[in-house]
Structures are given as C-alpha cells and as structure tokens.
Amino acid sequence: MLRCYLITLSLCAPLAAGAHPHEFIDTSLVLHFDAAGQIATVDVRWVWDDFTSMLMLADQGMDPDADGALTAAEADAMAARLSLWPDDFLGDLYFTADGQPVSLQSPQDVAIDYQDGRLIMSYWRALAVPLQPDAGVITVQAYDPTYYAFYDLAGPPELQGRADCDVAVAQADLNAAQQLYDQLLSELTEEDIADFGMYPEVGGAFADMVNVTCAPLQ
C-alpha cells in the first residue's frame, strides 16, 4: 500500500466486488534482542511483484531506458521517497504483547534494490517499547488493513540475540476471512462505497500470525 502514497490515491482504491489484493509483497523479518533479552528492533525486507515494481518505477520516472537496472542515484532517490511515510501509515507491520498493540518508530536506513524485475526495499525499525517475550506471548503480523496489498511471509522471522525462543506461525483461515469481508461489505450501502470510499478493513484476517515465546530469563 505504500506505493499508493507515491501516486494518485484514487488509483489504489479497493474494488468492492470481492476481497482480493492487487499487489504482492514477499516479506522477510529479523527480530533483534537487546542485551536485556528484549525484542528491540526489527529488520524488514519487502520484495514487490514484478508488475507492481514496474508501475512504481514508471510512476517515479525510474529506469527510463528499461534496462532492468537502477543507477545509484535512482536507487537513492527512490529510497528517499519511500522513507517519508504519512502519519496515518503504520508500516503494515503490527506487534502486540498479550493482545495490546506496540508502536514502532519510523523506518531507518532505507535501501532500494532492483533485481530480476522486482523492486526491493530494506530497512529497520525500533519498537517504541522493547518487549520481553518471557513475560507473555508476542505476536507479529504483516498486512495492509485494506487488503489492497498482500504481504506474504517468506518464512518464520529470524531471531538474533537469543537462542531460547520459539517462533510459531499460525496460518490465516482464508475462508473465515472471506466470510468476514462479505459480511462487512453487505453492511455498506452503494453510497458508502461510491461516494465515501468506504470498504471493509479486513487485511488482518487474511494475514498469518507469528507467535514468539521465550524461556524465562534466569
């Protein structure tokens, strides 16, 4: 969904015909523990699908010679643009501790690459409050609330800094998510959708959930 902040937002309005994403982002996460054994930062790597990558580059006038490569200046310019997140964009990454949301700070060290026709964005974020996983279950989800974009986890997040933690991935119930979308959509009027741009925000229901647990610290 970050792509939509670079171009006219109306072009990214979800279609009311059904719940289906329009861009796909392979997502890799690395959780870093600090010296106190708390989750303090997370590395994020997004790899957009080739069609969305092409649109993003075209929108920004990148790779005009279509040689499948970005110059260092183009990569830096794209990284600068994608570093400026609007206040209402939470980064499509959500941490909770025992069901309570945990804020993340702004992205740092944003880097852009372009390989095999796919745009790659890498960065890291600090948790506003470092989390102690042995005090309760930590959950992580990557999703766009509008379900315009689908974040596909490349695998369980990597953990760095502790060796006594487990990661379990609970796959989303896609049938239940679709039923929820259909129910919420049926509650909207044509005016809600056409005039006010309202739509069900059900991206979290379609997203796998990562659960992190650790042994109690001695």
For residue 132, the model assigns a pLDDT of 86
Q: What pLDDT does 188 receive? A: 81
User: With a cut of 50, which residues of the chain have pLDDT below it?
Assistant: 5, 7-11, 14-17
* Residue 110, SS3 per DSSP: strand
Q: Is 18 exposed, middle or buried (0-12, 13-18, 19+ CB in 10 A)?
A: exposed
Q: Which residues of 63-95 are buried (b: 16+ CB within 10 A; e: fewer)?
A: beeeeeebeeebbebbbebbbeeeeeeebbbbb
Model pLDDT for residues 188-215, shown as the tens digit of each residue: 877 766 665 677 888 999 999 999 999 8
The answer to whether 23 and 148 have CB atoms below 8 angstroms apart is yes
Give pLDDT tens digits for 137-149: 899 999 999 888 9
pLDDT of residue 2: 63
- Backbone dihedral angles phi then psi of residue 26, each to the nearest 5 degrees: -70, 130
Cα 134 to Cα 76: distance, rounded to the nearest angstrom: 40
CA-wise closest residue to 79 among 130, 51, 120, 40 = 120
What is d(CA 88, CA 16) in angstroms, rounded to the nearest whole number?
22
